Amino acid sequence: MPALLLLIPVLIALAALVWWKFRPTARQHHTKTAQLPSDGQAQQPHPTASPQPPTILPAKRPTVHAPGLDRQALPNASALGKPTSPPSTGTLPPDTPPELAAFHWMLERDLSPARHKALMTVIGGIPRPPLSMQKLLEPDFFNRADPAELSELLMGEPLIAARVLAIVNSPFYGLPQPVTSIEPAVTLLGMDTVRNVCLQYMLAQAFRPELASAQRSFDAIWQASATASELCLHLGKALGWPEPGVLATKVVLAFVGHLAAASLLPSNGVEEWLMLDRLHRAELEQEVIGVAAGEVASLVLRLWELPTTLVQDVSAISRVLVTPATAVDTAQAPLLALGYLCIGLGEKLALGQLASLKAYDLDADLGSDTFHLRSYLSHPALAQLRAVLASTELHAALHAMQVPGSIRH
């Protein structure tokens, strides 16, 4: 027994030496906790080098009007309301495409405890945007804020302020004298555009591709978000809706899910994932991550402590993929439809899948991922949508934006 007691300190010292030699580094520890358990082999997200969000040239917008506009019962984008949960297969229309009918949209509550814990651990490691982002998204900020108040907020974010000045002084505007201070820049660009520029740059700090090979995909997502938000803003104004900028901001935030998914998926498969339609993308996201990008966006925004109604609205837009119009409140339908449509068009334009908006025919877009969207289009508030989409003013405004070509090899 005494001999055994003498061995105990030796064994402890030996164990400590072995642990020190083979201890995990901080990076290794992060990688282990970031693994997402699945039915098969665990998938490992790649961490996130600084993306360069796309050039946004939205101001000097031409006035786009919907002919014969009935301004009764126009939707208010300030609050979509609590989103309806995705319908069960039994509530789907009989002509639902088989692949869509067979798809089950996973919610947070559907995840196993182990997978939920792993996913929330990974999401918790995404850097939080600055507090000024929360300020920008306060429900009443843009109801009471003026260019002076927004300018004061931007002065606390010098990199974003510099970007706003770079945009307003770009050749697109052709100003006779350069603008050197924030407040006149905000006035010229407009509050809605400046808010979305700020959000895109704040999000750029949170999502950074590690590998150069992933940069093109992140660039495409940034460009898609810029195009989608500007398109939403133009269409909402043309349709005569109040506060179209609020809906455009929710469209920008919907791309948080895209960015998070691109960070969580294996880096060698991100480009192929991005080129899939939204249904097949969601299938892959659920297989690898556990939930689709739209639900990931909701989880991220909730951890960032953004307003609950805002998080719910962003999630509701993504769920149009699996939700027929009959399953949502009638007043919400046009808002959800326009947000979902603009996200899809922004993606197609940024990825080179659509040469220009002139080539787009809403009634010929018959994919499985637009099947439920088509059930929303009979809403009276969307009666002039086709006319506005075909307007030369809208085409000219979008043409002014720099849309990169396809990311295909």
Q: What are the residues whose beta carbons fall under 8 Å from the beta carbon of 25, sequence distance 6 or more?
A: none
Does some domain include residue 139?
A: yes
The answer to whether residue 404 is domain-embedded is yes
Give the closest residue to 278 by CA, choosing from 351, 204, 384: 351
Q: How far apart are CA 231 and CA 394, in angstroms?
A: 8
The pTM score is: 0.75
- Cα–Cα distance measured from residue 277 to residue 369, given in angstroms and rounded to the nearest whole number: 7
CATH number at residue 85: 1.10.3210
Do residue 195 and residue 106 come from a single domain? no
Residues 144 and 202 in one domain: yes
Residue 407 shares a structural domain with residue 298: yes
Nearest to 384 by CA among 69, 58, 8: 69
For residue 402, the one-letter residue type is Q
Q: Is residue 360 part of a domain?
A: yes
- Residue-wise pLDDT tens digits, 378-401: 999 999 999 999 998 888 777 765
Which helix (DSSP H) or strand (DSSP E) does residue 14 occupy? helix 2-22
The runs of H, that is alpha helices, within 34-130 are 98-101, 113-124
Domain end (from 174, 206, 238): 206
Residue 180 has a pLDDT of: 83
Residue 43 β-bridge partners: 36
Q: In the structure, what pLDDT confidence band is assigned to residue 117 with cuts at 50, 70 and 90?
A: very high
- My answer on whether 181 and 260 are in the same domain is no
**By mean pLDDT, which of 11-25, 90-104, 355-369 is the weakest?**
11-25
Q: Is residue 340 part of a domain?
A: yes
Q: What is the pLDDT of residue 66?
A: 42
Stretch 77-92: mean pLDDT: 55
Task: Give the count of domains, the chain.
Answer: 2
Domain that holds residue 202: 127-206
Q: Are residues 253 and 303 in the same domain?
A: yes
Could you tell me if 202 and 269 lie in one domain?
Answer: no
